[in-house]
Amino acid sequence: MKEKILNHLGLLGVILVASNLLILDLWVVRNPKPSPGTALTESNKAQNTGLEREMTQGEKLVVPTTSSLPTPIVNPIDACGPICRNQISEEVSRAIATVSAKEKTEKVILREEASTNTNANNPTIIPVYEKAKNIWIPLVSSANTTNTNWTDVTPSDFYFDQEDYPGIKQVVFVAYLRAVDATGPVYARVYDVTNKRGVDNSEISTSSNSYQRFETTALSIWRGNNLYRLQLKSGIGTQVILSEAKLKVEW
């Protein structure tokens, strides 16, 4: 009987020990050990709570971390003192003045020989030149017709604006003209396409079978960047030939 009691007590002890171990394991699973970061966070919370209690009512202290702090921006102008800024301003002003003076003095005073336009749909645009003595602007090398009405010379269109040539004295029309077989007068002129008029003082005429050189008086050029072209006419249907037609711009 005594041995049975002892055996029962031993079995009961083993059951109690196993039960305690099982309970301990369950408690560890449900309550894991906090990580170092969590412990630090809880510590910070405790410090912040203490600090918040010291703040006045309605205020809250925010303690940013190092990684959340903005990178300071250094303004190079602020880093430069008054003397430095004055020197920079003087250098900039000097550079602007130099460029401006260079633009005023380095004007084009020579012209390249313009080529005769070969496309009637693209009139020649006369470039701007200043401070030249005389400028020759080629218009057409040769043209002819037998029409008794004013006939356009194609191609001979060009744009011209007197304001592109400040200080000019006058513009004249220069050309060689011939009446084949000398059977009647032939004519040539400069026509203002924009204003639909023959340019005053531009008309030339001859009845000679040989080329005659003409240089008109000052042309009456209207204001603005107007389109011009040359025109020919035969008095009685004889052939008229125009050669080496040019404008001469005189200072």
pLDDT at 131: 47
**How far is residue 219's CA from residue 230's CA, in Å, rounded to a whole number?**
14
CA dist 23 and 18 (Å) reads 9
Q: 224 Cβ partners below 8 Å, 6+ apart? A: 161, 194
Nearest to 141 by CA among 161, 114, 160: 114
In this prediction, the residues of the chain whose per-residue pLDDT falls under 70 are 1-132
% residues pLDDT > 90 (the chain):
43
pLDDT value at residue 181: 87
Residue 103 has a pLDDT of 43
Distance CA 16, CA 98 (A): 103
Q: Do residues 171 and 221 lie in contact, with contact meaning Cβ atoms separated by under 8 Å?
A: yes
**Three-state secondary structure string covering 155-224:** CCCEEECHHHCCCCCEEEEEEEEEEHHHCCCEEEEEEECCCCEECCCCCEEECCCCCEEEECCCCCCCCC
Structural domains of the chain, ranges and CATH numbers in brackets:
133-250 (2.60.120.1340)
